[in-house]
Amino acid sequence: MAKKKTVQEMTEAEIAARTAADNAPAGPDAFEKRLARHRDELKWLYCELYRDEQAFDYFVSMLRRCWEQRKAALRAQDERRAADPDWYRSRELLGMMLYTDAFAGTLRGVQEKLPYLLECGVNYVHLMPLLQSPKGRSDGGYAVADFRTVQPELGTMEDLEALADACRAHGMSVCLDFVMNHTSEDHEWARRARAGEQEYRDRYFFYDSWDIPREFEKTIPEVFPTTAPGSFTWLDDCKQAVMTNFYPYQWDLNYANPVVFNDMTENLLYLTNRGIDVIRLDAVPYIWKELGTNCRNLPQVHTLVRMMRMACEIVCPGVLMLGEVVMEPAKVAPYFGTPEKPECHMLYNVTTMASTWHTLATGDVSLLRHQLDAVCALPRDFLFLNYLRCHDDIGWGLDYPWLREHFGTDEVAHKKYLNDWFTGKWPGSDARGELYNDDPRLGDARLCGTTASLCGVEAAVFEQDAEKLERAMACDLMLHAWMLTQSGIPVLYSGDEVGQLNDYGYHDDPDKRDDSRYLHRGKFDWEAAALRRDASTRQGRQFEGLRRLTHIRAGEPCFDARADVWTEDSGSRHILAVCRRFAGRELMCLFNFSPYFVTAHVARDGDYDDLFYGERHDGLRDMLMYPHSFAWLLRE
């Protein structure tokens, strides 16, 4: 796939040609053709779920209205992407997730900083939640009060559309969260429901007593047992209980009501018509509730996601759906759907992320290799979004049955060890993190912190220990090389490119101090970023090392999504060996997860070239690896 030129790289004639192409409307029958392709299945699924043909007719008219509102530039992009359906599988894609206010203050500020993102090699920008939410009751923006209004201090919907237009001109895609499981209690629907309007109460789960809520809570696991126990909240003003699986100010929507599905789908399409390329479906496994179940991953969820996928393919076929499914692989894979009836285009690789940090703390790659074998066994069409850190905490959702069977691991004791290690309590650990949602009853907690701080960079800087800093930075680079080795789309968390450290200032902010996730959601350090071109600084070395990795990945065919990928025996439980083979080329990737010198013994002869360090190796049967080091070894 040829790299798309940025505006700066284009001639005036090329810019004029692109502008003309973008302003050429799609053919008048484009919508009708796409609707006809999906109509039978869409109607069958809709009417099986809701048994309401009148609601379905409204749904179709809504889709037509949204398509009519889609501007010519977006329709033209839809046509280009339809002609290249694998456009998002390119190894050149590199993502970054960021908070608008932390990164640049406002949406206009983000637009002004696009040259920096381009310098980072980023062409996929995930803007963390930015829609209107009540201050102090927003859960980081995941309690939306208006799906069509930007948080005022960040800008306006016009600013968001202008940013999306600017990104599109630079060949960059924009991702935005769509919080579909619930609304804020300040949303118009919730306010009217609270005031007693039955039509709006029917959009939520209202009960006059605790009888039915108690029956629900017998089978629904608590999401936040420490900070928000239970799944219902009592409203004193209207003397009713409302379902609130996450926080009391986030009211769960009732998708058994077709009006909810119709209106939420229209809200989704409104955002795509502003130029959003990727819609992240937040907490998608939770959206269908049924008494007597755990209200997770129910069959109706897949029906809803499939219908949303078809709605996008009809109105905006250039838009992707990214599913947030924070569960084990067996429950994640079904959200891809099937080749005939696809659901999400891509999903988060959550378990691999958690297993990676487990592996760093234990120095044993067995679980990570087991996890990767499971991922590699999935169809190649399944595309994962890979990351080391994100806006959220690290939950230890590991494969404990496997660990128990092979190592006799006790789940509670192991979680405590991991949390002690990454908070620096364990002897010999230089990691610096904090716990989130610590639940002493269950011996469970999640972890917060930036990549650099969890790798020991913060401790080394504080102690002014140059040797320790070298080891910590090597660890950080090794983890990023591992993330970039995985098939799928790699996504950086803003600040990791310059080794940003934890921000403890949130402890002094009354709106944030109860949520330790703000430890790694701090303001972007532009002073540190200004050092990115200075090779004598740790920021400069971090930036240059990561740019070199991403440049190699973009240019090496073995990183193609179509490559064959598998793990091999490295001869050491400390070293992960991953082989990628494509188009007559073989890339052996080795990662030493231990803080010691370890020798790898991989059954390979012949000459291998190290793509990162430029060295040549005669076979891989006796290769000494430095602590927390990696090697990308190519044989043609």
For range 257-269, the mean pLDDT? 98
- Whether 410 is catalytic is no
Determine the Cα–Cα distance for residues 496 and 379; give it in Å rounded to an integer. 31
Determine the Cα–Cα distance for residues 312 and 138; give it in Å rounded to an integer. 28
Looking at every residue in the chain, the average pLDDT score rounds to 94
CA-CA-CA-CA dihedral for 54, 57, 63, 66, to nearest 10: -70
- Whether 282 is catalytic is yes
What are the tens digits of pLDDT across the range 376-408? 999 989 999 999 999 999 999 899 999 999 999
Of residues 597 and 5, which shows the higher confidence score? 597
- Name residue 506's beta-bridge partners: none
Could you identify the residue written with the tokens 């769960």? 252
Q: What is the pLDDT of residue 5?
A: 53
Mark out the alpha helices in 51-202 (DSSP H runs).
Answer: 53-68, 72-83, 100-104, 107-112, 114-119, 157-169, 188-194, 198-201
* DSSP at 81: H
> Lowest-pLDDT range, 19-28, 46-55, 209-218, 573-582?
19-28
| 174 touches 167 (CB < 8 A) | yes
Residue closest to 520 by CA, chosen among 548, 501, 547: 501
What are the tens digits of pLDDT across the range 548-564? 999 999 999 999 999 99
Domains of the chain: 1-99+118-128+158-180+256-348 (no CATH), 188-252 (3.90.400.10), 362-538 (3.20.20.80), 560-635 (2.60.40.1180)
Q: What is the pLDDT of residue 11?
A: 53
What are the tens digits of pLDDT across the range 189-231? 999 999 999 999 999 999 999 999 999 999 999 988 878 899 9
Exactly one of 185, 252, 313, 324 is catalytic; which is it? 324
For range 119-130, the mean pLDDT? 97
Q: What is the pLDDT of residue 216?
A: 97
Determine the Cα–Cα distance for residues 305 and 314; give it in Å rounded to an integer. 14
Exactly one of 159, 177, 282, 399 is catalytic; which is it? 282
Give the model's confidence band at 20: pLDDT under 50 very low, under 70 low, under 90 confident, else very high: very low
Give the model's confidence band at 499: pLDDT under 50 very low, under 70 low, under 90 confident, else very high: very high
What are the tens digits of pLDDT across the range 43-97? 999 999 999 999 999 999 999 999 999 999 999 999 999 999 999 999 999 999 9
For range 463-475, the mean pLDDT? 97
Those residues whose C-beta lies under 8 Å from the C-beta of residue 576, and which sit 6 or more positions away, are: 359, 365, 368, 369, 372, 482, 567, 570, 590, 591, 593
**Residue burial 300-327, b: 16+ Cβ < 10 Å; e: rest:** ebbbbbbbbbbbbbbbbbbbbbbbbbbb
What are the tens digits of pLDDT across the range 588-613? 999 999 999 999 999 999 999 999 99
Per cent of the chain over pLDDT 70 is: 95
Task: Give the phi and the psi of residue 371 in degrees, each rounded to 5.
Answer: -65, -45
Q: What is the pLDDT of residue 26?
A: 55
